[in-house]
Structures are given as structure tokens and as C-alpha cells.
């Protein structure tokens, strides 16, 4: 059975809750990513910060000195590393998110995008062609 840990990206760019919004914006721009899981020092997922939220803050330069903890989404939708891929797909459909953090015992171990799930489901269903 194909699970979240089989299709996740294990090396995830993260940020700590004590980092500034300026640091978060710089990291998103530098790494060319659209969101950052927020983890504490133990690696526990405590929030998520999206480019959408940061875009809204870009109008007010004083916000850039505030912390990630002040603006992150605390109610994070995540999936367990052992969750079957079809359950992961359900989460994308129901919650209409772009990415899902993958956790094991509360700790962030990876990230899955919608295209990761699409690729896994399509590949599993694609017929084998021989030439």
C-alpha cells in the first residue's frame, strides 16, 4: 500500500515561530516556495505560514518586524506518515490546500503537494505499455 511517506518530500524548508515575518518572506523568495511549515526546536509542527498570508502583510511594513508566531495558522491540516495515498488525496479535496505537512509522532517529517498525489495515483493506475 502506497502511503504518505512514500510520496512526500522529506527535506522541507521550515521556519521557527520566533523568526520575523521579514525572515519568512526572504526565505520564501530565496527558496522559491509558497509556504513554510512552522516547527519548534524539537521539530514539532506548530503552525504554517503561507505566501497568501504574507502577501496580505506586505502592505504594512511594520508587520515585517513581528514574529511568525503572531501570524501563522495554528490549526494545521496534516497527514500521518502512514496514511494511505487515497486518504491524503481526500484531504486535498476536502480542504482545498496546496500542500500538506506529513507528521510522525507530532514531528514534521515531510511535505506533500497536490501534484505528488496526482502523480502517485496516476502512476498506480497507468497501464504498463510494451513496445
Q: Which CATH number does 4-125 carry?
A: 3.10.580.10
The number of helix segments (H) and strand segments (E) in the chain equals 5, 5
The domain spans of the chain are 4-125
- The mean-pLDDT minimum among 30-39, 57-66, 67-76, 90-99 falls in 57-66
Query: What local confidence, expressed as pLDDT, does residue 125 receive?
Result: 63
pTM score, whole prediction: 0.84
Could you read off the pLDDT of 72-109 as tens digits, one per residue? 999 999 999 999 999 999 999 999 998 999 999 989 99
Amino acid at each position: 500500500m502506497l502511503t504518505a511517506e512514500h510520496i512526500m518530500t522529506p527535506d522541507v524548508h521550515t521556519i521557527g515561530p520566533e523568526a520575523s515575518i521579514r525572515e519568512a518572506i526572504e526565505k520564501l523568495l530565496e527558496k522559491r516556495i509558497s509556504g513554510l511549515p512552522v516547527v519548534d526546536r524539537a521539530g514539532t509542527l506548530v503552525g504554517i505560514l503561507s505566501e497568501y498570508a504574507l502577501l496580505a502583510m506586505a502592505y504594512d511594513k511594520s508587520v515585517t518586524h513581528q514574529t511568525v508566531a503572531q501570524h501563522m495558522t495554528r490549526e494545521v491540516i496534516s497527514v500521518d506518515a502512514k496514511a494511505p495515498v487515497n486518504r491524503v488525496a481526500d484531504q486535498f479535496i476536502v480542504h482545498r490546500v496546496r500542500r500538506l505537512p506529513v507528521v510522525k509522532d507530532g514531528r514534521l517529517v515531510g511535505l506533500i503537494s497536490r501534484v505528488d498525489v496526482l502523480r502517485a495515483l496516476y502512476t498506480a493506475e497507468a497501464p504498463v505499455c510494451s513496445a
